[in-house]
Structure 1
């Protein structure tokens, strides 16, 4: 532990959630998230609307985070922000605000890779949650990303498998849209899946070499399956919705777990961590817990509030970088595409 308290303000604005968090020496003092409901009417995130909402939300969200942490901006040691990947307009709002605040307070500015932050969220000091030892395998699963990452240390990560088309979150949302569920469909599908039979309907898993994933073919298969059954029975979805959701979720989880098993076998690593919004899915959590007994894995699942996009995960990366004195300059720019 450091001899003095280090306070980091984290700012996250990569998609449609504006978030600010204050961290002290690895512990989260506040984590404020303002979600944007406006996108539900469009069935997906509208970039222009997202960036406008960030402009409205960022000042009150940061003020609220400081207030809940009982600290003034002058007590901060550094500002950490999401540089990318994400929606460029949204990222620009967070980046510009962080740069201006750091300049005004004359404190260090720290750039954070959003995908690395999902993985390093495991290092937030949280009672009852263990931190994975190095090396470990991380599976990051979200609306925009599906990756298996070999993590050697805080800042050494290698993507060893990723989706070649749709992300797993997209697979859930697009399947849900076919079924007439509201956006985002993932949480609703998860709830219904718990009430249905996962083996009621069989969907073919796509064949993809190595550790990469593919979900676009599955989405198409689900579309044709629904269309064909609706021709025979116009009430098919209504009568079988829970079973359809359970069967889709079961297939998606099997695809993820199959690749994770191969990755563990190839690397010999049995410490497995998950991160990203889709890691909140109850089926994925259950499958990981079952794998602990079956394959001798030790699995790490973050606290629920640190799975979706949030600034606490940005703040912890900021803290880890601060300790190593890894700072950004005022020339830093937001990047929509940013690799681990």
Structure 2
């Protein structure tokens, strides 16, 4: 879809000069057939990483900048919201500047749309990014798009999948991160069917807790942290040395539901250590326990995904792919198991963004802004952050 220069000027005029926000739902009536591509600046501050990127509607990542906070939070064993908020306040202006400098762009002349994470996430952190995005959009008379963080993870595969055309809907989606575990059917940019979620800890939170239990040092750099460190430990461990139960397999009702549960895995690993009086300062034991935990966590994920595939088949939903995204989706062992399930049993490809775009970043927010702007989803400058924002509340989305 091409966006005309006249059309963009029309949008900006209405945003800056009318007494009400411009909220047209049918952009195609303006015959947008001249200008292409249009360019979106995306801002991400939902948790601990400060990310900014510039992406255009031709699926080009023009620039990206990110500030990581791992060294700030590692001494505390997890993310400290007030520290994360202070870091966003300190570094967000510099990260925005860095993204613009890398692109050699003028924000007033070269950026057409501002997109920013609206939720879900940590309240204070979301407020930092959203305030910055709203201020920039209003001051520069540009359309503002508030982005759902998890929807942006799902849509990133449409940006990065190396084919001439966008990955078509519908596709089954597994979103796995430190804060979320969701199984969805993505039917459109603003249309999701919510099949299952965790009833307690997310899978990423479980990885982090087991890493802390086993005293595994955080992995440094982008894509690092406690969960990534545990993955590395698990690679050299023996997953058959010990055994822990796969969650939700004993009760028939829970076994047949598509919701997940990970909190019991930490309890099981802890009980295993106590029962056998295991020395977790022994590197080999530590690796075997990490591998044992990971094997059970992956089995739980694939069990629930198999139920989701079967549900889609029963509903005659013609899936084009299994998309896995979120920080935990960069885990190689998880990817291998998901690919085996998707390709060998259900004849659809597994599509994942590159590992550095699985974790939180500005690229995914900018691209979600592209997708939403194309179909006329623009927000008022008065929108507020939404720390709890069910994806099933988007547009025509639904929940089972």
Counterpart in the other structure of 2:94:
60
Kindly indicate whether residue 77 of structure 2 is the aligned counterpart of residue 30 of structure 1.
Answer: no
Cα shift at 1:244: 1.4
- Report the CA distance between 1:330 and its aligned residue: 1.4
Match of 1:160 in 2: 195
Q: Distance in 1 between matches of 2:156 and 2:82?
A: 29
Relative distance call for 1:173 and 1:62 in structure 2 (3 A) is: same
CA displacement 1:87-142 (0-9 Å, x = unmatched): 01000000000011111111111000001000001121564798542111100000
Is residue 330–residue 354 contact of structure 2 (8 Å, CA) maintained in 1?
no
SS at match of 1:124: helix
290 and 264 in structure 1: CA distance in 2 versus 1, 3 angstrom threshold: same
1:48 to 72, 75, 82: 82
CA distance in 1, matches of 2:279, 2:161: 50
Task: Give, in whole Å, the separation in 2 of the partners of 1:239 and 1:321.
Answer: 49
Distance (whole Å) between structure 1 residues aligned to residue 74 and residue 274 of structure 2: 24
Equivalent residues of 1:28, 1:125 under 8 A apart: no
User: In the TM superposition, what is the alpha-carbon distance from 1:159 to its structure 2 partner?
Assistant: 1.2
- How far apart are the structure 2 equivalents of 1:195 and 1:84? 37
Alignment CA distance shift 1:60-1:235 (3 Å): closer
| CA gap 1:235/1:280 in 2 versus in 1, 3 angstroms | closer
Q: Pick the structure with greater CA Rg.
A: 2
TM-score (norm 1): 0.95
1:18 aligns with 2:50: yes
TM-score, normalised by the number of residues in structure 2: 0.81
Aligned mate of 1:260, from 285, 302, 305: 305
Give the equivalent residue in structure 2 for 1:273: 323
**Quick check: 2:161–2:353 contact (8 Å CA) kept in 1?**
no
Residue 89 of structure 1: aligned partner:
124
Query: Out of 315, 321, 328, which is 2:372 matched to?
Result: 321
Deviations 1:75-97 (A, max 9, x none): 11110000000001000000000
Match of 2:272 in 1: 225
Note if contact 1:270-1:297 (Cα within 8 Å) is conserved in structure 2: yes
Moved more, 119-128 or 306-315: 119-128
After TM superposition, the structure 1 = structure 2 runs for residues 1-340 of structure 1, keeping only pairs within 5 Å, are 2=2, 3-4=34-35, 5-25=37-57, 26-36=59-69, 37-74=71-108, 75-125=110-160, 127=162, 131-183=166-218, 184-207=225-248, 208-209=254-255, 210-230=257-277, 233-234=278-279, 237-268=282-313, 269=319, 271-291=321-341, 292-340=343-391
Q: In 2, distance between residues paired with 1:261 and 1:44? A: 32
Is the alpha carbon distance of 1:131 and 1:306 closer, same or farther for their aligned partners in structure 2, counting shifts above 3 Å? farther
Q: CA deviation at 1:195?
A: 1.2
Runs of 4+ in 1 over 6 A off after TM superposition: none
The verdict on how the C-alpha distance between 1:100 and 1:39 changes in structure 2, with shifts beyond 3 A counting, is same
SS at match of 2:323: strand
Tell me the distance in 2 between the aligned counterparts of 1:118 and 1:96.
22
Change (3 A) 1:214 1:27: same
